[in-house]
Amino acid sequence: MEDTSASLLVKLASDSDHTAWETFCDVYAPLICTFACRRGLQQNDAADVTQEVLIRVVRSIRTFEYDRHRGRFRDWLYRIVRNELARWRGKQARHSSESLEDPAAEVTAEWSESFQQHILETALARIRAVTQVDAWHAFEQTWLLGKPAQEVARETGCKLEFVYHAKSRTLKKLQLEIAHLTDDAV
């Protein structure tokens, strides 16, 4: 897990922070591509749209001034994705008589849900990789699967305090990782 003291967006604005760009692409390219496929694009077309979105992010991030009071990162990224999908649809409409309508309210809700689910899954995978096996198991059993801490302690032979601490520490890591990936406040 990377340092969460500086936001990912600030790091992206720096030409020299290649790790931030790798993180951004690793985290958000699959989200964008999957979302484009859900909007009816074939995998190759979705990959092209994803590349165009990433190019637009690269072009705009240097002058982008993020203000949490004006909106969230996910909304900014969604506008870029939505605009790129509209460009793609416009190109397709010129070559086809088929209607390519996309109801805006439904798509916005779908984007928000997809974004949140993708970030949660990505953050869970990232913190799992840096969390001790026993601590992860206690967290997984209590928080993800909803088992009572006493039952998990009994099943694993761990002390009850360990289960509570593991859940608490891992949940805090999860919150920080989500904040880091989305630049939203914890």
Task: Give the Cα separation of 99 and 109 in Å (integer).
Answer: 22
Q: pLDDT for 49-84, tens place per residue? A: 999 999 898 888 777 666 667 777 788 889 999 999
> Is 100:162 a contact under the CB 8 Å cutoff?
no
Q: Which CATH class is domain 1-118?
A: mainly alpha
Looking at residues 31-56, what average pLDDT do you find? 93
> Is 7:64 a contact under the CB 8 Å cutoff?
no
Instruction: Identify the residue with better confidence: 129 or 69.
Output: 129
CATH code of the domain occupying 131-186: 1.10.10
The pair of three-digit structure tokens given for residue 63, joined into one six-digit string: 């002058």
Query: In the prediction, which pLDDT does 19 show?
Result: 81
Task: Give the Cα separation of 51 and 32 in Å (integer).
Answer: 9
The answer to whether the pTM exceeds 0.75 is: no
Q: Is the pLDDT of residue 95 over 80?
A: no
User: What are the structural domain ranges in the chain?
Assistant: 1-118, 131-186
Looking at residues 28-43, what average pLDDT do you find? 92
120 burial via Cβ count (<10 Å: 0-12, 13-18, 19+): middle
